[in-house]
Amino acid sequence: MKSDASVLFTPFRMGALDLPNRLVMAPLTRNRATPGTLAPRPLNAEYYRQRASAGLIISEATQISQQGQGYILTPGIFTDEQVAGWRLVTDAVHQAGGRILLQLWHVGRISHVSLQPGGAAPVAPSAIAAKTKTYLDHGFDDVSTPRALAIDEIEGIVRDYAKAAANAKRAGFDGVEIHGANGYLIDQFLRDGANHRTDSYGGSIENRARFAIEVVKAVLESWEPGRVGIRISPVGTSNDIADSNPQPLFDYVAGQMSALKLAFLHVNEGVAPDSPAFDFTSLRRRFSGAYIANFAYTREAAAKAINENRADLVAFGKLFIANPDLVARFKADASLNEPDQKSFYGGDERGYTDYPALG
């Protein structure tokens, strides 16, 4: 067994991807897409290029359709202009020697009528409003009450995922991650706190997982399984999400994703104080691909998790915001820049591309 933190800098084969180290840049919403088109621009390309030394970059969450948008100035992947904007990003990352996946996103009920086509209500498995806020032009505001999807509408959203996945390939990505975490649409279908349906998409664990599995199969029409993963947050409570018995639910999900031969399972291991106990190692046992751990890891905790075989890779969020050269800093055990929370969402290059590198 390798000692200390040296394991963080060892190569790893994840599905069809050869990664030079075990440090993953987590998906991070920054609200800096081009107004009007929601396409990435040169500023975004520079941001990702600066962080290309990560073993793998997972892009910020990117909506698969206008209906899938829940916050201002988040990028899309459903128009030719957006595909061209993302090509700026992937070219910049690849020229710097990096690897980048696109995170595919539909927010479901975590949206506002002002962002929806024709000012319509957001959609969800059930017409249950989330007690949370979204980020709009005037700041944070309550999300709108959703309407429940008719069963014949669900296939249309699955096809939106398929189109978005194909567009990600056109944009030059190395693969995709499906966003199934943090209380967004896939998570809303999975969890019984948000899904009160009585049809084939509700009730049993198998029924609630049906939408997630259909989305993955649609994405696999464009991508080999070795370039696809899914992110989950089994006991996270973001965006007013909850489940009465998450262990068997997510054990089942992990097993189904393993059967589909996905490259990785990316797990937000955050646990709320009143959450039921959860055994994350159970997911690792049930999933045959790579396990990416995420949630407030430090350099030392990440090395310990990998050395103890609890994870293959570890994803870092805020540390990559403030430290574009996080890999070099970890390798040198150097001091870290502090992230400026005031500049996380929206704005210009300040707090985005102006964090200093070592030296």
Instruction: Quote the strand ranges of 70-227, DSSP E.
Output: 100-105, 123-124, 133-136, 139-142, 147-148, 176-179
Residue in this structure with the two tokens 């262990």, named with its chain if needed: 247
* Residue-level pLDDT at 276: 79
The Cα–Cα gap between 206 and 249 comes to 8
Low-confidence ranges of the chain (pLDDT < 70): 1-3
| Domain 6-343 of CATH type 3.20.20.70 | yes
* Residue-level pLDDT at 2: 52
Burial-class residue 317 by CB neighbours within 10 Å (0-12, 13-18, 19+).
middle
- Catalytic, 48? Answer no
* Residue-level pLDDT at 96: 98
CA distances from 298 to 64, 92, 149, 262, 305 (A): 32, 28, 41, 27, 10
Burial-class residue 261 by CB neighbours within 10 Å (0-12, 13-18, 19+).
middle
Residue in this structure with the two tokens 């359709």, named with its chain if needed: 65
CA-wise closest residue to 236 among 193, 290, 206: 193
The Cα–Cα gap between 171 and 154 comes to 26
* Residue-level pLDDT at 274: 79
* Residue-level pLDDT at 3: 54
pTM for the model = 0.97
Q: Model confidence over 296-316: pLDDT tens digits?
A: 999 999 999 999 999 999 999
The Cα–Cα gap between 34 and 31 comes to 9
Strand 17-19 vs strand 12-14: parallel, antiparallel, or unpaired? Answer: antiparallel
Q: Name the active-site residue from 184, 201, 291, 352.
A: 184
